[in-house]
Amino acid sequence: MPELPDVEGFREVLARHGEGHRVERVEVADAGVLRGVSAARLRRELKGRRLGTPTRHGKWLIAPTGGPTLLLHFGMTGRLVHCAAKDEPHPHDRVVVALRGDGQLRFRDQRKLQGIRLEDDAGVRRVLDSQGPDAAEVDRAGFEELMTGRRARVKSVLIDQCALAGLGNLLADEILWRARLHPARRADSLDRDELRRLHGRMRGVLRSAVPTGRVPPRRSWLTGHRDDPDPHCPRCGHPLRRGRVSGRGTVWCPHCQPEDG
């Protein structure tokens, strides 16, 4: 699932290959990824537009065009890739934005759970106002405030985009493992030191992951072991445990992350 580091990587693709370029045409191979906009309108509105400087909030990629704004959400399996016009199409290339010259930006998505929107300024505000603060930007005081008084499990709060934007399943498990907090702890049970530690570990994980454009499966990380047939904690060597927390597949170390805190 694309999470904040992945979407930051897609932002860099768009900035490097799209910013300042005019749209020659838009090809919609599968309108199933369009949300609130028809293929005809997408083609009409984007043709001839010059792409501006892209930004990101949480898992949303925001691309100004000098007119309506292009909003991209990558759901579970989406990607943004830059290709040459001669490159063979991929079976999951749903929308292709051809730029003046030879370049193409391709929205590639297997499961089509989210997709592409075209919004005016008010529409952009509606989308982003429904999101919490960006996980890479929220300071410690803001983080403690959003956690305070929440009875939900701490993992649930971390992946709730309305509370905190950008984290998904892999990042939440990694951050909680580094903070030595059980994912099923109630958020309002965390003391101030635990909240500070959680915020610090979140910032550290994002600083390491964002430059790679993904959640890196390093062997020193929990992420690097969660899919092992017999996973063990890279910190203490104890067998890892798999289960479900708030309906999401979760991996943790029962030795490093005791349920009683």
Per-residue pLDDT tens digits for 79-138: 999 999 999 999 999 999 999 987 999 999 999 999 999 999 999 999 999 999 999 999
* Final residue of a structural domain among 129, 154, 174: 129
Phi, psi angle pair for 49, to nearest 5°:
-75, 150
Q: Which of 3, 8, 119, 174 is catalytic?
A: 3
47, 196, 218, 248: which is the annotated catalytic residue? 248
Residue 185 bears catalytic tag: no
> Is residue 68 annotated as a catalytic residue, yes or no?
no
Where does a domain end: 78, 98, 129?
A: 129
Is residue 72 included in any domain, yes or no?
yes
Same domain? 232 vs 125: no
- Reported residue count of the chain is 261
Residue 257: inside a domain, yes or no?
Answer: no
CATH of the domain at 184: 1.10.8.50
Asked whether residue 101 falls in the same domain as residue 122, the answer is yes
What's the pLDDT score for residue 246? 82
pLDDT band at 261 (very low <50, low <70, confident <90, very high): low
10 and 125 co-located in one domain: yes
* pLDDT, tens digit, 9 for 90 and up, residues 176-203: 999 999 999 999 999 999 999 999 999 9
Write down which residue in 106, 129, 152 finishes a domain.
129
Q: Is residue 150 part of a domain?
A: yes
Domain shared by 60 and 154, yes or no: no
Whether residue 152 sits in one domain with residue 125: no
Whether residues 216 and 100 share a domain: the answer is no
Quickly state the pLDDT bin for 18 (edges 50, 70, 90). very high
Range of the domain at 46: 4-129
- State the Cα–Cα distance between residues 53 and 58, nearest whole angstrom: 17
Cα Rg of the chain (Å, integer)? 20
59 flagged as catalytic? yes
Catalytic residue among 11, 59, 106, 153: 59
Q: Is residue 217 annotated as a catalytic residue, yes or no?
A: no
- Say yes or no: 91 and 162 in one domain: no
Residue 33 Cα distances to 36, 123, 140, 186, angstroms = 10, 18, 36, 36
Q: What is the pTM of this model?
A: 0.95
The verdict on 91 and 24 lying in the same domain is: yes
Choosing from 2, 64, 133, 183, the catalytic residue is 2
Count of domains in the chain? 2
